[in-house]
Amino acid sequence: MRKNITYCGFIAIIGRPNVGKSTLLNQLIKQKISITSRKPHTTRHEIIGIQSEGIYQAIYIDTPGLCIEEKRTTDRCMNQIAKNSIANSRLIIFIIEGMNWTISDQIVMNNLKNKSLVLLVINKIDYISDKKLLLPYLQLLNQKRHFIDIVPISAKIGTNIDVISGIVHQYLPQSEHYFPKTCIMNHSKQFMASEVIREKLMRSLGAELPYSVTVTIEKFFINERGGLTIHGVIFVESTSHKKIVIGHKGGKIKIIGVAARQNMEVMFGTKIHLELWVQIMSGGRDYKNILPNIEYKNLTL
């Protein structure tokens, strides 16, 4: 019997911080696998989301937002992750936001190779009240480089997500599928749990959150009631940061814990017993603690 022709490939989702890369990935996969917040630099690791639809398998790579300045080691690490994804993917979704092309967008574009197939996505169009203004803007963007297409979307509302999937399918190379149909992401449940806690920290603390905060999972096991017991440790840099995370009479950490537990119960489909600790990181801003899950040996630090 003849085998069906199938298509499969990697697609990097890139853009400056906060444009909505992770929100788009979650919409494409139809499940929340990448954390999002109003704060830039929410994504710190490469997150892979796999969308299998009939003969097509699209493997999307969500990346940390490319930063203009590399003041901190973490900036360099995150930029390196994004640049590696650009280098390793022939097909790229380049996201910009609203109606203003910024210097940061230009820098992201400068990192694209000439031979890359680039789909330009204008996100957050729900903010644009007069949609007629989009047409001249699209014409302007078209002159910047060759794009395989330019698609206005709202990742938050879900506008035009299917259009993106459809275009991506057209450009996937003929190949066997790399992952089983049921596989949708590459990370462990422990990693997902630590990311959910970090998301709630970012969402609940906003601008006052110390940039270097990091989360590790110390325990993760099925308990006697058949649910999951998870112990998470939030590492901060100083006593003052610890106070911010804990909040008055432990109020903040409680809100963070409840939100994280509820999210995990949906994500893992079971009851969760979550315990959180806040600890001061020894040795100050140690990049190995800040970004615990990436390969350092390939990075120039």
Ligand X SMILES: Nc1nc2c(ncn2[C@@H]2O[C@H](COP(=O)(O)OP(=O)(O)OP(=O)(O)O)[C@@H](O)[C@H]2O)c(=O)[nH]1
Contact residues for ligand X (CB under 6 A)?
15, 17-23, 36-38, 40-43, 64-65, 123-124, 126-127, 154-156
Q: Is 219 annotated as a binding residue?
A: no
**Shortest reach from residue 245's CB to ligand X, in Å:** 20
63 close to 93: Cβ distance less than 8 angstroms: no
If you ran DSSP here, which 8-state letter would residue 65 be given?
P
Choose from ligand X, Mg ion, none: what does 277 bind? Cβ within 5-8 Å by kind.
Answer: none
Choose from Mg ion, ligand X, none: what does 38 bind? Cβ within 5-8 Å by kind.
Answer: ligand X
**Shortest reach from residue 240's CB to ligand X, in Å:** 24
Q: Which is nearer to ligand X, 17 or 227 (CB)?
A: 17
Q: Is 206 annotated as a binding residue?
A: no
Q: Which is nearer to ligand X, 21 or 241 (CB)?
A: 21
200 close to 254: Cβ distance less than 8 angstroms: no
Q: Which is nearer to Mg ion, 36 or 212 (CB)?
A: 36
**Shortest reach from residue 32's CB to ligand X, in Å:** 11
Locus of tokens 């009240």: 129
The answer to whether residue 74 forms part of the interface with Mg ion (CB under 5 A) is: no
Q: In this chain, which stretch among 41-49, 164-172, 256-264, 285-293 interacts with Mg ion, using CB under 5 A?
A: 41-49
What dihedral angle (degrees, nearest 10) is formed by the CA atoms of 75, 76, 79, 81?
-110
Task: Please give the structure tokens belonging to residue 44.
Answer: 């710190």
Q: Alpha-carbon distance 63 to 119, whole Å?
A: 16
The answer to whether residue 22 forms part of the interface with Mg ion (CB under 5 A) is: yes
Q: Is 243 annotated as a binding residue?
A: no
**Shortest reach from residue 24's CB to ligand X, in Å:** 7
Binds Mg ion by CB under 5 A, chosen from 27, 37, 43, 104: 43
Q: Is 123 annotated as a binding residue?
A: yes
Q: Alpha-carbon distance 113 to 210, whole Å?
A: 35
One-letter amino acid at 192 equals M
**Shortest reach from residue 105's CB to ligand X, in Å:** 12
Q: Is 266 annotated as a binding residue?
A: no
198 close to 241: Cβ distance less than 8 angstroms: no
Q: Which is nearer to ligand X, 36 or 85 (CB)?
A: 36
Choose among 11, 13, 74: nearest CA to 41: 74
Q: Which is nearer to ligand X, 121 or 256 (CB)?
A: 121
Please state the φ and ψ torsions of residue 48, each to the nearest 5 degrees: -105, 130
Rounded to 5°, the CA angle 176-180-181 comes to 100
**Shortest reach from residue 115's CB to Mg ion, in Å:** 26
45 close to 70: Cβ distance less than 8 angstroms: no
Q: Alpha-carbon distance 234 to 276, whole Å?
A: 7
Q: Is 209 annotated as a binding residue?
A: no
Choose among 219, 239, 233, 231: nearest CA to 280: 239
Give how far Cα 123 sits from Cα of 90, 105, 139, 230, Å: 22, 13, 16, 36
Q: Which is nearer to ligand X, 153 or 230 (CB)?
A: 153
**Shortest reach from residue 181's CB to Mg ion, in Å:** 26
Q: Which is nearer to ligand X, 37 or 194 (CB)?
A: 37
Locus of tokens 């230009």: 106
Binding site for Mg ion (CB under 5 A): 21-22, 42-43
Binding-site residue numbers for GTP are 15-22, 62-66, 123-126
